[in-house]
Amino acid sequence: MSDGPAAVPSAEPLLALDGVCTNYGKIRILRDVSLTVGEGEVVALLGLNGAGKTTTMRSILGLTPPRAGTVRYAGQNVTGWPAYKIARLGVGYVPEGRRMFKDLSTLENLQLAENGRSGAWTIQRVFEHLPKLSELRARKSGRLSGGEQEMLSIGRALVANPRLLLVDEPSQGLAPLVVEEVYRILAELKKTGVAILLVEQNALLALRIADRAYVLDGGRVVHAGPAAELAADRDRIRMLMGLEVAT
Ligand code: ATP
């Protein structure tokens, strides 16, 4: 098997889920989820707590393999492949809760993630895009603030040179100003051509940088369409997500 990502036939999106059903034990969580992410596209995956957003990411990554349906990535059927093989194809993951090696410094976390891989994203380039991380290179990651940990989590995914980045709830638990900073970074990443599947509970935030959006409810896709169209329709967001929408 070659280590580099395979060429995607032009008609096929970079990532395509078709009829994915995923269980935890006997409990069905995802029901017939179909979605696509094109090369360089930012796609928001929205929904309330427990809607199935993280489970969708776990299904893509092979962490919780689907019971039915297919996951295609870069022209291959990767359904149920182990996570390390999917990562090797260029899928990066920025998990909810920013799991990292807390006793290692910022730099050591990045070095571990880089692991000899080469590509456009080097640790140096990550430091140029995220100068705060450069300042904090010697600090143990367990002593970073939530926002700094989120940046490190993004940096770690980048040094593996992903073609597709799965980002789970990057705003979770962060102060509004820090959220702005994290989203500024994601918007900058978008310009570099990385495709992003962005999970968020805060719909308006994600819709600001997304090209398209899906909304999940009870493990089903209940809405799919252009991000700008959904962002402009607050009533629809309220109806889909059942919440007061912060402006
Ligand atoms: P959140 O924003 O809370 O992470 P989410 O949309 O990402 O929400 P999921 O984490 O995918 O939702 O969870 C979907 C459903 O699956 C929820 O009802 C949740 O309780 C359940 N669930 C999640 N993880 C497990 C697990 N390991 N075992 C059993 N049920 C689980």
pLDDT digits (tens, 9 = 90+) for 201-210: 889 999 999 9
Q: Which residues pair with 94 in a beta bridge?
A: 167
pLDDT at 243: 57
- Label the pairing between strands 164-168 and 15-24: unpaired
Query: What is the spatial distance between Cα 166 and Cα 154, in angstroms, rounded to a whole number?
Result: 10
- Three-state DSSP at 222 gives strand
Higher pLDDT, 59 or 80: 59
Split at pLDDT 50, 70, 90, the class of 113 is confident
CA of 97 from ligand 1 middle (Å) equals 14
Residue 104 has pLDDT above 60, yes or no: yes
- pLDDT band of residue 108 (cuts 50, 70, 90) is very high
127 C-beta neighbours (distance < 10 Å), count: 18
* pLDDT score of 2: 42
Do 204 and 18 contact (CB within 8 A), yes or no?
A: no
218 vs 1: which has the higher pLDDT: 218
Average pLDDT in the 25-53 region?
95
Percent of the chain whose predicted confidence (pLDDT) is above 70 = 92
- Ligand 1 center to 192 CA (angstroms): 32
Q: pTM of the prediction? A: 0.89
Minimal-distance CA residue to ligand 1 atom 25: 24
What is the reported pLDDT for 7?
55
- Taking the C-alpha atoms of residue 180 and residue 174, their distance in angstroms, rounded to an integer, is 10
Interval 86-92 mean pLDDT: 90
pLDDT value at 1 more than 50: no
Relative to beta strand 42-46, strand 195-200 is parallel
Q: Of the segments 98-107, 151-160, 180-189, 190-199, which one has the largest average pLDDT value?
A: 190-199
Is it the case that residue 35 has pLDDT exceeding 80?
yes
Q: Which of 17, 29, 214 to mutate to test the pocket of ligand 1 (most atoms within 8 A of CB)?
A: 29
How many whole angstroms from 4 Cα to the centroid of ligand 1? 33
- The more confidently predicted of residues 79 and 147 is 79
Give me the phi and psi of 53, to 5 degrees please: -65, -50
Please report, for residues 49, 156, 224, 243, the alpha-carbon distance to residue 212 in angstroms, rounded to integers and kept in the order given: 20, 25, 8, 20
Instruction: Record the tokens describing residue 91, joined without a space.
Output: 């899928």
Amino acid 17: pLDDT: 98
What is residue 59's three-state secondary structure? helix
Closest CA to 94 of 190, 186, 223: 186
| Dist. CA 190–CA 133, nearest whole Å | 19
Ligand 1 centroid–CA 173 distance in Å is 18
What is the C-alpha separation between 149 and 181, in angstroms, rounded?
Answer: 13
Distance CA 31, CA 14 (A): 22
Ligand 1 mutation target, pool 54, 63, 217, most atoms within 8 A of CB = 54
Token pair 């199935």 is found at 52
Collapsed DSSP state (helix, strand, coil) of residue 60: helix
Above 50 in pLDDT, residue 131?
yes
Q: How many residues does the chain have?
A: 247
Looking at residue 91, what is its pLDDT?
93
- pLDDT-based confidence at residue 165 (cuts at 50, 70, 90): very high
Question: Which ligand 1 atom is nearest residue 172's CA?
Answer: 2
65 SS3 class: coil
Residue located nearest, by CA, to atom 31 of ligand 1: 24
Q: What is the average pLDDT score of the chain?
A: 89
- The side-by-side arrangement of strands in the sheet containing 195-200 is 91-94, 164-168, 195-200, 42-46, 212-217, 220-226
Residue 135: what pLDDT?
A: 94
19 Cα–ligand 1 center, Å: 19
pLDDT-based confidence at 67, cuts 50/70/90?
A: very high
Pocket residues: Cβ below 6 A from ligand 1: 24, 29, 47, 49-55, 96, 201
- The confidence score (pLDDT) of residue 3 equals 46
Residue 228 confidence (pLDDT): 96
